[in-house]
Structure 1
């Protein structure tokens, strides 16, 4: 229901003029949220190459965290904003998600969990054929923040199909404790386009690749 409310707010934010449009405002975003929810983080930048700023933002509450992308559009008679994708993030975030836009690529860096943490980095690029964000990279690491156990990591390039997995082996003790890479594996995993709304769970994907033969 929340995504529908945000989409409705976007439709009301359109304008029929040719001047460059500003980024969508916090006020418009907040029109679609529920009591107890707030904007955790946001970033503005051009994702679809039209010269107007697009926006990615995280709406958070004590029980949920969702990232949304709003893409600008421009026709001969109208300009405005439209939904470009939604990503559910773990509810137990360890601080705000980091959002950056670099050369048209949206990068989301998120840390969640507790003593055992999940670090995930998602990379998206706007699809050229339709207003949707396409997953082009996913990195995930599960590890102990107190070095109580080994960890696992993966890096998946969905453009080339290259996958790398590794075990993070404990090394040192006390203040000198840390991790070192072990059992590094590299393989190909071609895939059909994955759009933001269908992004796999980062930890589940890490487990699947770790077990892959």
Structure 2
């Protein structure tokens, strides 16, 4: 009975401590707006736990004249205060065909971006937060170059930065008019060296695709 009573006391103590743990407030739009420069605006934002600490982090895209950046801040706890700290930023193509789509799934930030014109580049970036320090790491990059009017061939690639695996596909234009389509049968697989790429190191999707098609 004494053992059971002790276990119950410990459980109650743990529950009480958990209840006393204050939540870090989610970043407000006003806080983000305070970081903007002249002519800049928030294109999109998403909130969720990116580093597995149970607190809500925030990612947003800032768009200005001829520039566009993705930013992330982590919720953080000091000895006496709750705050947010920068965890990374990445330069994006400044001329999107619409607002980027941003989601957080199982702790991974996924950013889907469409840029260009009749010749477009569709890119999907995947980032994950580091637990040991406030840093976001690029873990995946997919890119597709294609003609929105089926005027020329295209190409696509998928790069897993955690394994180094790259899949590069030539998209051959077949048919015409309403029957136009892409043949994706020419597929090449190879590996790149595995190394950490933080959000600041995020490469251009179009340049990365070009290298992939050359087997680099």
Unaligned runs of 5+ in 2: 1-19
Aligned residue for 1:67?
70
Q: Is the 8 A contact 1:107 1:122 kept in 2?
A: yes
Aligned residue for 1:195?
198
Aligned residue for 2:169?
166
Structure 2 distance, partners of 1:193, 1:85, is 14
The DSSP-based 3-state class of the residue aligned with 1:29 is helix
What's the TM-score once normalised by structure 1's chain length?
0.88
The DSSP-based 3-state class of the residue aligned with 1:208 is helix
Structure 1 distance, partners of 2:215, 2:163, is 18
The DSSP-based 3-state class of the residue aligned with 1:194 is coil
Aligned residue for 2:133?
130
Q: Is the 8 A contact 2:150 2:180 kept in 1?
A: yes
Aligned residue for 1:93?
96
Q: Of 127, 150, 158, which aligns to 1:155?
A: 158
Cα deviation, 1:2-52, whole Å, max 9, x if unaligned, reads xxxxxxxxxxxxxxx952122101101111112221110000000011211
Aligned residue for 2:107?
104
Aligned residue for 1:11?
none
Aligned residues: 197
The DSSP-based 3-state class of the residue aligned with 1:190 is coil
Aligned positions of 1:23-38 closer than 5 A: 23-38=26-41
Unaligned runs of 5+ in 1: 1-16
Displacement of 1:129 in angstroms is: 2.2
Larger Rg: 2
The DSSP-based 3-state class of the residue aligned with 2:128 is strand
Aligned residue for 1:175?
178
Q: Is the 8 A contact 1:18 1:79 kept in 2?
A: no
Q: Show structure 1 runs of 4+ deviating over 4 A.
A: none
Whether 1:118 aligns to 2:121 is yes
Structure 2 distance, partners of 1:131, 1:98, is 23
Aligned positions of 1:43-62 closer than 5 A: 43-62=46-65
Displacement of 1:62 in angstroms is: 3.5
C-alpha RMSD of the superposition: 1.4
